[in-house]
Amino acid sequence: MSSPHQAPVPRNAQDDRDDLRDDSRDDSRTTPGPADSTDATQQAGLRARATVAGGSRLVVKVGSSSLTDPGGLLAVARLERLADALAVRRSSGTELVLVSSGAIAAGLGPLGMSSRPRDLAAQQAAASVGQGALVAAYSSAFGRHGLHVGLVLLTVDDLIRQQHYVNARRAVTRLLRLGVMPVVNENDAVATDEMRFGDNDRLAALVAHLVRADALVLLTDVDGLYDGPPSNPGSRPIATVRSPRDLEQVNLGGVGSRIGTGGMVTKVEAGRIATGAGITTVLAHSADVDGALAGQEVGTVFLPTSPRPASRMLWLAHASEPVGGLVIDDGAVRALREKGASLLPAGVVGVTGSFEQGSPVEIRDRHGRPVARGLVTFGSDELPRLLGRSTRWLGEVFGPDHAREVVHRDRLALLDYGRDATPS
């Protein structure tokens, strides 16, 4: 029996699927993948999908490859089909937040570019040109259903600073209360190489936590997760992922398409972030958006792996890639993990990489195990002369500006040993 939230099948639904998907292979999900070996797993997957079907607030992310044609231009018909499906779900009372890639892709054609540029300045230029076209298309598509859209552009810096984080959550929440469809994207025009989400999969997972969503739906150009490259006829689909351990032997392939940045690795990472925050996640083909929203067995469902953390520190742990590192002694490890203290110069025994003040760094113990991530008060060029010194000594010798912590506890997120960037 279909869910009451399921959208009606478009008149040309099969044509839509043929347009978006390569049906040259049999992707029947009857053959269990490595995470699908028991009835218990299947039942857990069905319960998780029911969370999507019955959720009152969902975050839906769509990638560039699902919004553009083979030439890299914005495919308005695809965007409209997505808007139609979301509008139907919205009409049932569900609050939706759309995280949409496509700004850079939408700017490639007008700028005469055939693929995503590698240099940051060209990406920023394409985003500036394309963002307007993308929002105009969404405004038109949702306007047919009497819905307004509100553009929310975010940067890492916006969301690792406490007040900015609160402001972002307040703005999106207010849009939802006003009946507006928030369309979220990274602010590519001002993002820097050091401080950027890098792909909207991770951004979507963090937005899901920000707005306290019941579930996250990642729409892409493949039919979910496989135990090998989807183009390989021998690869088997994986319907349910219980934990990251299920994927230890899975070949996730490389980077994304020539238009977008997110490959399967980033989507699995997004699933790990979201499920680690207690949020059910579904990865599905964009042509299956109706079924994904209805809780049907399409794509891959990632089961929540831990209770939802309340702290904004999930952002700091995942929002940006560290540009350098600090090595700390055992006493500093205990101070951070057991006392919630700031990291002082006396506990730092090594510096790796080159970074400026305010940059994100990873903090590891003497054995190389990750302890925390944080934003540093000093740059890598200044830190070596401060290592092992007390703040009192530093204040007396170098002045009061040096009598301070290397990483303040309010700008530090603890990690679990042996696991990547999972808040403790």
Q: Is 185 annotated as a binding residue?
A: no
Q: Is 265 annotated as a binding residue?
A: yes
* Virtual torsion, Cα 388, 393, 394, 398, nearest 10 deg: -140
What pTM does this model have? 0.73
Q: Is 262 annotated as a binding residue?
A: yes
How far apart CA 157 and CA 167 sit, in angstroms, is 12
Q: How far is CA 14 from CA 79, 170, 224, 292, in A?
A: 17, 40, 19, 16
How far apart CA 46 and CA 40 sit, in angstroms, is 10
Q: Is 61 annotated as a binding residue?
A: yes
Q: Is 188 annotated as a binding residue?
A: yes
Q: Is 339 annotated as a binding residue?
A: no
The low-confidence residues of the chain, meaning pLDDT below 50, are: 1-19, 21-33, 35-36, 194, 254-262, 417-424
Give me the pLDDT at residue 313, please: 63
Q: Is 267 annotated as a binding residue?
A: yes
How far apart CA 274 and CA 268 sit, in angstroms, is 10
Q: Is 261 annotated as a binding residue?
A: yes
**Complete domains list, the chain, with CATH:** 17-315 (3.40.1160.10), 322-421 (2.30.130.10)
Provide the edge-to-edge strand list for the sheet that holds 300-302: 149-154, 181-186, 95-100, 57-62, 215-220, 280-285, 300-302, 240-241
Give me the pLDDT at residue 160, please: 65
